[in-house]
Amino acid sequence: MVKEVMRQLPREKILYFGDTARTPYGPRSSEEIVSFTKEIVAYFIQFRPKMIVIACNTATAAALGDIRRLVDIPIVGVIKPGARAALHRTTTGCIGVIGTEGTIKSGAYERALMELSPEVKVISEACPRFVPLVEKGNFRSEETYETVLESLGHLRNYPIDTLILGCTHYPFLTEMISRVMGQQVQLISSADETAREVRLILQERGSLAGGGEQPIHQFFCSGDSQMFKSIAEQWLGMQIALFPVVWQVPAIR
């Protein structure tokens, strides 16, 4: 997500928070996820951001409405943009969705897809084993391939031509997922469509960043800072300024 925002909005300064101490969010209760999301938003408010993107599918599904009611700046989630992108690409009308247990159980993608196109057929599958692989930096091993095959192999029995990667960790596994699903299945990350939505909202509000200076992005994480830094720099192709966070702020109510 952050990589695509950087590409489409190169003048915007980004503050990114990775709650690595409490991942994966997928198996957690909705109450926990809402509480965690409120804590992160409360932490970010001190920096006076002009917009917050909840770049986590599980947190979007559980907490987007609550957060929008609590703050007076635009809050953008990733589920509706991802659904729109998938519907633009499918030709069979059969869309697969993979995500954490929390995202899949919420039915958020199914609702978003059906609202936009009631005739669409949606096949959903929770993949709880994917996030731990990514958190360890294990993207391309044979173990990873076998895990992806065991998790997704049965989806090849459906006429899926478009597969939504309903977790921001999953693009790290694109190579293995494509290997299992086949080249005929288009993999959809919500990042591109979400970044477009961010641009549109900022344009409408007259708050797009200008000037010629390169912004200095800041990255925060709550867990293993070295692992986070290594994976982030590998994915972004750049060095990052990283700030470990120990929770000391109350959640917004």
Please give the positions annotated as active site. Answer: 56, 167
Please state, in angstroms and as integers, the Cα–Cα distance from residue 240 to each residue in 84, 100, 230, 232, 233, following that order: 31, 27, 10, 8, 7
Helix (H, G, I), strand (E, B) or coil at 16: strand
Separation CA 95–CA 162 (nearest Å): 5
DSSP letters along 130-158, please? HHHHHHTT--SSHHHHHHHHHHHGGGGGS
Q: Based on the number of CB atoms within 10 Å of its own CB, is 223 exposed (0-12), middle (13-18) or buried (19 or more)?
A: middle
Contact 241, 214 (CB under 8 A): no
In sequence order, the 6+-apart residues with CB closer than 8 A to the CB of 184 are 161
Give the tokens for residue 132: 């731990």
What are the start-end ranges of the E strands in the chain?
Answer: 15-18, 52-53, 75-76, 94-99, 121-126, 162-166, 186-188, 218-221, 242-244
